[in-house]
Structure 1
Amino acid sequence: MTASLSDIAIRAGVSVKTVSGALHGGSARMSEETRQRIKEIAEELGYVTNFAARSMRQGWMPLVGLVADDLITSPFATEIIRGLDGAVRAADMAVFAMTLGGHRSIASILDEMRRFRPRAIAYAAMYHKSVDLPPEFADAVGVMINCRDANDRVTSLVPDETGAALEITNYLIDAGRRNIAFINLPGLLAGELRELGFRRALDQAGIDGAGAIVLPAVSKAIYSDRAHSLVATHVQALMNGPRRPDAILCGNDRVAMEVYAALRREGAAIPDDVAIASFDNQVEIASRLDPPLTTMALPHRAMGRQAAQILLAEDRAPVGVQKLPFQLVERASV
């Protein structure tokens, strides 16, 4: 037989409600000294939380469900899971994920997930996009991470793409670069919003933003790292054309890696001849390029942490899109 909450309460000289609050994050108010003493007694008596009984009382298990829209396959977007898991663990709960893909619909995933009676459910995507949740499931999802509900019914946490492009373009301008080309990601919401910030920064600096050079990184209408790349062709044309750039902004670090190689074939030095800047901060790429790449780090971990705060709060967060800032990572390419 394991120790019960009553056993701990008798030993500590407090109520069962106070013990539950100390061990399970309940609403009972107590001093930190009392909380720590209760935890020590629980450990001494070998207390183990009866999750089934707790679920019957509360109506939910100490779990946060995560619908992972291709998220687990992305090496750097997993920072979302790290941020979410760390914050949820601090509340004595756990995250479990189900991957959306193949023939599994959003509706079937949410139906399956709700059988586990989680405290809350989040939906996270590998890249910033709009998601059309089935109307009957909009209330089931507490927060969307790295994506937004197409009908604005769910609180959504997304990267501030436009703000990031504005910041990194201003950084290039402040470094004395005036003829900046942008090799962007076609067909993606992130690319569209980044182009907006790029052109806005040029306009604000007195450069013709409308006439800026913006080129697609791939031949397909929607960017994929498996699509036929146009980067080398673009760089060759730029370096031999009438508007030779003194900086190239890249849609992501993979594109930047291709730009590095293409510039070297043209005999151009980085950053002396052409400065390079990018987005994402895929460290395995950005830190290993020569010279290391200046880039904007996505706020993935911060989105995960903030999502946990929203999901575990007593009151439901106001519906809307919250934009989280990128972080400029300065390296030697500018």
Structure 2
Amino acid sequence: MRDIAERLGVSVKTVSGALHGYSARMSDETRRRILALAEELDYKTNIVARGMRQGVLPVIGLVAEGLITLPFATEIVRSLDNASRTYGLSVVATNVAASRSAKDGLAEAQRFLPKAIVYATAYHRTITLDAEVRQLVDLFINCEETSGEIPAIVPDEVQAARVIVEHCFSLGRRRIAFLNLPGIRAGSLREEGFRDAHVARDLAVTERWILPATRGARYTEFSVSLVSAHVDALMGERVPPDTILCGNDRVALEVYGALRRLGVDIPGDVAVASFDNQAEIARRLDPPLTTMALPYREMGRRAAELVAGPRSAVPQLQKIPFRLIKRASV
């Protein structure tokens, strides 16, 4: 900046104002000359030096609990990073796993002097952090902290279930079984929406048709599946369901296989619908799967807007709606 100032006969403060967008008083011609010479000299701002001086670097610290390792969940990271660049910021991520606490992850994120720190989880969860730890977080993504003190962005699971069930109703389906995800927040909220949609149509829920997709108190990808046995029992009823709603697309994949073994046509005999829109599954099933797309891209974009954009009043909890992806399975 001194080189530019000396060559153009202006002050270093004026050069800094032109290069960094400050409101230093100067003519448009002076600003143009400074920027042109900076480009000629290939001037680059030393963001580390500026960060040390100002106490903050142009980055968002992302503490990710399992998020980075799941292909579909990384949409949050991609979208957050892309949207942050609009504000001249980059995302620096650190992963939290079983051997590494949230406190450790947040401490590491702080070392980068970030403009803000966000904490994100791979699955929609409620988490609890000590007061001194949660105060380091500016925003939670895909999770809610039990104190409710820090703003959070989460998917609207209840809305998703209402929409997919109403879509089935609109196509004449009335007897809907639900192979849900036991023991997790998404499962309980989706069941709430499932019931709400029936109430709105003044239709009764068949209670025995709300079933856990896996054995055990909590759904995981490694739990023992109950899908095949449930499908056999459902299709063996005198009046079987005309639709099977699945807790996620992986459960739907199993339902397809179980129905095919029984010679049941999809959707002629039974429709199948689901949640998440994991594209590598949903698009490749035959017929392609009707499902509710998780709003991960919008969640990442909204998070960048909240922590990087102009600061204003931030709602404590933002619920982002899913999107209905209509395919041929209903």
TM-score (normalised: structure 2): 0.92
Contact 2:178–2:244, Cα closer than 8 Å, also in 1 = yes
Deviations 1:17-41 (A, max 9, x none): 542443xxx6779999999987655
Contact 1:199–1:212, Cα closer than 8 Å, also in 2 = no
2:164 corresponds in structure 1 to 168
Contact 1:153–1:319, Cα closer than 8 Å, also in 2 = no
TM-score (normalised: structure 1): 0.91
Identity across matched positions, percent: 50
Deviations 1:94-116 (A, max 9, x none): 11111101221111211122122
Residue 76 of structure 1 aligns to a residue in which SS? coil
Contact 1:60–1:118, Cα closer than 8 Å, also in 2 = yes
Measure how far apart 1:284 and its partner are. 0.3
Taking a change above 3 Å as real, the CA distance of residues 108 and 232 of structure 1, as seen in their structure-2 partners, is same
Within 1, Cα distance between the matches of 2:219 and 2:24? 52
1:309 corresponds in structure 2 to 305
Aligned pairs, number: 330
Please tell me the residue identity of whatever aligns with 1:321: L
Deviations 1:70-129 (A, max 9, x none): 001111000000110001122222111111012211112111221221111010100000
Measure how far apart 1:137 and its partner are. 2.2
Residue correspondence of structure 1 range 15-54 to structure 2 within 5 A: 15-16=14-15, 18-22=17-21, 41-54=37-50
1:277 corresponds in structure 2 to 273
Within 2, Cα distance between the matches of 1:253 and 1:162? 17
Taking a change above 3 Å as real, the CA distance of residues 169 and 19 of structure 1, as seen in their structure-2 partners, is same
Deviations 1:234-291 (A, max 9, x none): 0000000134010011000000000001011111100111111100000000000000
Taking a change above 3 Å as real, the CA distance of residues 93 and 3 of structure 1, as seen in their structure-2 partners, is farther
Q: Which moved more, 1:178-187 or 1:113-122?
A: 113-122
Contact 1:185–1:191, Cα closer than 8 Å, also in 2 = yes
Q: Which moved more, 1:272-281 or 1:108-117?
A: 108-117
Please tell me the residue identity of whatever aligns with 1:48: K
Within 2, Cα distance between the matches of 1:237 and 1:312? 52
| Residue number among 188, 193, 200 corresponding to 1:192 in the alignment | 188
Within 1, Cα distance between the matches of 2:172 and 2:29? 58
1:262 corresponds in structure 2 to 258
Deviations 1:140-192 (A, max 9, x none): 11111111111101110000000000000000000100000000000010000
1:98 correspondence with 2:94:
yes
Within 2, Cα distance between the matches of 1:316 and 1:242? 58
Contact 1:129–1:146, Cα closer than 8 Å, also in 2 = yes
Within 1, Cα distance between the matches of 2:170 and 2:29? 53
Contact 2:61–2:116, Cα closer than 8 Å, also in 1 = yes
Residue 295 of structure 1 aligns to a residue in which SS? strand
C-alpha RMSD of matched pairs (Å) = 2.8
Within 1, Cα distance between the matches of 2:27 and 2:178? 56
Q: Structure 2: 5+ residue runs without aligned partners?
A: none
Q: Structure 1: 5+ residue runs without aligned partners?
A: none
Measure how far apart 1:53 and its partner are. 2.3
Measure how far apart 1:58 and its partner are. 2.1
Residue correspondence of structure 1 range 129-168 to structure 2 within 5 A: 129-168=125-164
Measure how far apart 1:224 and its partner are. 0.8
Contact 2:94–2:108, Cα closer than 8 Å, also in 1 = no
Within 1, Cα distance between the matches of 2:27 and 2:200? 54
Contact 1:4–1:47, Cα closer than 8 Å, also in 2 = no
Taking a change above 3 Å as real, the CA distance of residues 46 and 121 of structure 1, as seen in their structure-2 partners, is same
